[in-house]
Amino acid sequence: MDNRDTLLANRLSAVKPSPSMAAKARVDALRAAGRKIIDFTIGEPDFATPAHIVAAGVDALQSGHTRYTGSTGTPALRAAIAAKLERENGLKYGADDIVVGNGAKHIIYSAFAATLNDGDEVIIPTPYWVSYPDMAAINGGVPVIVHCDASSGFKLTAAALESAITPRTRWLVLNTPNNPSGAVYTADELRAICAVLLRHPQVWLMTDEIYEHFVYGGARHVSPLQVEPALAARTLVVNGVSKAYAMTGWRIGYGAGPRVLMKALALLMSQSTTCPNAMSQAAAVTALSGPQQCVQEGRDLFSSRRDRIVALINAIPGLSCLPPDGAFYVFVDVAGLVGKHTQQGAALGNDVDVMMYFLEQAGVATIDGASYGQPSYLRMSFATSIEQIESGCQQLRDAVSQLTPK
């Protein structure tokens, strides 16, 4: 037997590479080959980290913030997070109820590692952020995928949740505002979901609220614990500074929850990453505690882009999308193109084929809906300029016009 066959852990066979990172690599390779690509795969704000936050990071470096911190984050940052959660979300946490990680993804992964035994089930509604199922699987969990469609606004219903729960259920993962659909749960919808959870004390709630500040029109972000505080003893609130403050590369996320879980996360981090980097933590304190006008400006910018891309997509025959209530993505229904043929005679059999056709023929990069558990859709980010949105949609329209009927 080849030693290479026995080197790697069996659990890796259940894990797929991140589609978002794969899409970025594909775009980078095409650009390196000289192709001009309009990139709608971007999962981060396209504007710079606000200057006052950058200045805080620079000052931290110059002031000697270059050493280890505590595994759970600096006292200053955990205090700033506690103040933010109370000020913006009405949630009261002490510093010992908060753990800072290297991005929100780090918090989610660590929570699964700390709580899942082999065979424990994690309920994940579709469409889901691509990493949830794989992070559960690599830690011995069984992803239980609950399919939600456009008829429910891509939201989990109380009835669907009730049907999915078994004695092995350990977590429900709820992402609002949602990546990729932009769905935002209302207080009433959350209240109904929480009522189900109250009847099943073995089920913990993980609420990923990283896009909370990007909501549009009449939508409002509500944290589940705002409507059902009784679940606080088994809820992990996940958030970070990456999206709201355009700080994706600074890698600061955080979790707030029961002390027993926070201690477990601290233990894992002490034996893995040791701590988040000190300079980024200092900058995050300024982000959370300083002027918030930059967040409003980002929301207003994304709102105008949302309106434009929705109008343009819905004007292309065979494509349609609902206006997203939050985040910075449109989730485009491409079922109207499946079965059509390219000029070379190839049939578009599914959303992956459509994605590749748009990339090769139109020079427009998107991500297939199957990667989010929702085939026949594409995710397109509007975290890019109006000029790119208009050019990209025109190139999509031209590519669609070249398809022949089913």
What whole-number distance in Å separates Cα of residue 58 and Cα of residue 68? 17
Residue 114 reports pLDDT greater than 90: yes
pLDDT in tens, 312-339: 999 999 999 999 999 999 999 999 999 9
**Confidence band of 28 (pLDDT split at 50, 70, 90):** confident
In the chain, domain spans = 3-48+294-401, 51-290
Is there a contact between 224 and 207 (Cβ–Cβ < 8 Å)? yes
Q: Write the Ramachandran bin of 87: left for phi over 0, alpha for psi from -120 to 50, otherwise beta.
A: alpha
Torsional sign, CA 282, 75, 208, 326: negative
Pick the CATH number of 3-48+294-401 from 3.30.365.10, 3.10.20.30, 3.90.1150.10, 3.40.50.720: 3.90.1150.10
Note the pTM of the prediction, 2 decimals.
Answer: 0.95
Three-state DSSP class for 22? helix
The per-residue DSSP string of 57-83 comes to HHHHHHTT--S---TT--HHHHHHHHH
pLDDT in tens, 178-199: 999 999 999 999 999 999 999 9
pLDDT in tens, 163-172: 999 999 999 9
What whole-number distance in Å separates Cα of residue 121 and Cα of residue 168? 6
CATH architecture of 51-290: 3-Layer(aba) Sandwich (3.40)
